[in-house]
Chains A and B, each alone.
Chain A
Amino acid sequence: MEGPVKFVYEVDGENFTSAGEASISIKKNLRLLGYNPNIIRRVAIAMYEGEINMVIHAGGGRATVYIYPDRVEMILEDNGPGIADIELAMSEGYSTAPDKIRNLGFGAGMGLPNMKKNTDEMKIESVLGKGTTITMIVKT
């Protein structure tokens, strides 16, 4: 059997302007592969929220996406500060984003719950001071 199609993106933590480029690229690729628009949208939203989080909370990171015959798997890894209380971070409305970020239209504390809502599986692994890895799966 053929292996999955793999895409790797470096997400620049210094550049809020470019945040989202990886998600746009994945969206285009899934369109070319002929996926259902609802599936594509769920992948795009989850990945975009994750990408923005890496930029605003973790100074950037890496996004790796595997496209398998039956699912899309997204792995977002960063070497940021980590998340102290994952359950708290997952609750709607919880955000540590400063006003500067809120003025850019983000920081409502909706991202992680929205990632969970748009994916079939989501796992957060985080070590304080080391970084965070989020794995999400959307069945296709």
Chain B
Amino acid sequence: MIISKVAELLDAKVCVGEDRLSDEVSSACGSDMMSDVLAYVKNQAVLLTGLVNPQVVRTAEMMDMRCIVFVRSKIPSDSMLELAKECGIVVMTTKKRMYEACGILYSNGLVSLEKEEEE
């Protein structure tokens, strides 16, 4: 799925990364705990979160993620957007809640790749 499709499905507003909307992403994860994202996530390209602070962007960057979706209309700060821009990460915000946003993406083919072998 290309990133612009993610924005369209979630009725989301793109804040930075307009130039990367045609990049492909194939998996996603949703979490408000960056500790869990760092420890369990593997090769996911999209992070959905309701948490807003600069460490969300840094966590996404460490994990080589391509896109951050803030749910529940959370507005990222200018410094977060600046950081995302530097890292080449697309940032968008949606009014939808976490459960619904994840469900929509999942049912449209964005899979989850959490490290099942460790469960």
Contacts and interface: CB of A to CB of B under 8 A. Distances in A.
Interface string B44-55: 000000010111
Contact of A105 (B32, B62, B64, B79): B32
* Residue among A27, A105, A110, A111 with max Cβ neighbours from chain B (10 Å): A105
Interface stretch (A2-10, A44-52, A74-82, A125-133): A44-52
A108 B62 contact: no
Interface in B1-54: 32-36, 38-39, 51, 53-54
A104 B55 contact: yes
B33 to A, nearest CB: 6
Interface string A29-70: 000000001000100110011001000000000000000000
Contacts, number: 66
A17 B62 contact: no
Given A20-B58, A24-B58, A104 B35 contact: no
A31 to B, nearest CB: 11
A82 to B, nearest CB: 21
Interface residues of A, number: 25
B70 to A, nearest CB: 13
A110 B39 contact: yes
Nearest to B39: A110
A106 interface: yes
B69 interface: no
> Per DSSP, are chain A's interface residues mostly helix, strand or loop, or mixed?
helix
A23 interface: yes
B62 A23 contact: yes
Interface of A: 16-17, 19-20, 23-24, 27, 37, 41, 44-45, 48-49, 52, 104-111, 113-114, 117
B55 A105 contact: yes
B92 interface: no
Given A17-B54, A19-B55, A108 B36 contact: yes
A114 B35 CA distance: 9
A106 B34 contact: yes
A105 B63 CA distance: 15
A107 B35 contact: yes
Contacts of A37: 64
Contacts of A49: 38
A80 B24 CA distance: 44
